[in-house]
Amino acid sequence: MSLKIATWNINSVRLRAGLVERYVQEHQPDILCLQETKCRDSEFPSGVFKSMGFDHLAINGQKGYHGVAIASRLPILDMDKRDFCGMGDARHVSVRVKVSFLGEIPLTIHNFYVPAGGDEPDRQINPKFGHKLDFLDEMTSWFASCKLVEAPAILVGDLNVAPLETDVWSHKALLSVVSHTPIEVAKMGLLQKSGPWIDAVREKFPADQKIYSWWSYRSPNWEIADKGRRLDHIWMTPPAAKHLQAVSIHKAARGWERPSDHVPSMVSLA
């Protein structure tokens, strides 16, 4: 038995439902985690997902902004959502599913959309950046209290931080750009230790290899310029990571008609 889990910042699920259908047809994920769905729960295109075989949905939506969802072919035992920083934003949803090869303890999947943080990396003049830092801090303290080390768990989503020098097109040029500043990278490191979480993507892609999951809309020649960042992540606790078989980042989706600026990432477990 195998299990394929994908994550994708879709940047409006209603606008890009057709792209989701194409992706599912081509790559056949068993569980698909979406961020920036940008619609209320009642507006989520559930029928489209059920027609693709995703009979089980966990949705945390919000009108016009944010929003996360998990679509699963496997039955969802239960779901949860947490309001980080007390802002009322729909930025987290989690589910538990039973996976036979992982043993008796169900697999927990956390799906996050971390705040982007605005343009200026200074919380004194940019409250959005302060919110992002506080959000990462709360994630860290929460996961540290959960004591996940012995349970199979996966954290996916648009974490809006590119931590390694090879996660951005130019480390030097982006040191003062939100998503790659030293303070964000440091907080990301603390968050990773709180699991402890294993970076599944870097388990299969060497740390010296440049890989990206996001390319700005501002670049009309995004593929030629290739000025990307790896903002989308898949992390695992050790009990889940020992079953990791493969990782793929589907860059071709960035070139589809009316694409998201993010592309899907997927892991296979067996």
CA-based radius of gyration for the chain: 17
Under the banding of pLDDT at 50, 70 and 90, the label for residue 32 is very high
147 pLDDT more than 80: no
Average pLDDT of every residue of the chain: 96
Under the banding of pLDDT at 50, 70 and 90, the label for residue 130 is very high
Q: What domains, with CATH codes, occur in the chain?
A: 3-269 (3.60.10.10)
Under the banding of pLDDT at 50, 70 and 90, the label for residue 236 is very high
Under the banding of pLDDT at 50, 70 and 90, the label for residue 148 is confident
* Token digits of residue 52: 């693709």
Q: What are phi and psi of 211, to 5 degrees?
A: -140, 145
Spatial distance between the Cα atoms of 85 and 131, rounded to a whole number of angstroms: 8
pLDDT tens digits, one per residue of 169-202: 999 999 999 999 999 999 999 999 998 999 999 9
pLDDT tens digits, one per residue of 62-118: 999 999 999 999 999 999 999 999 999 999 999 999 999 998 999 999 999 999 999
| Least confident residue range of 58-67, 88-97, 201-210, 214-223 | 214-223
| Reported pTM | 0.97
Spatial distance between the Cα atoms of 185 and 89, rounded to a whole number of angstroms: 23
Q: Looking at residue 219, what is its pLDDT?
A: 84
Cβ neighbours of 167 (radius 10 Å)? 25
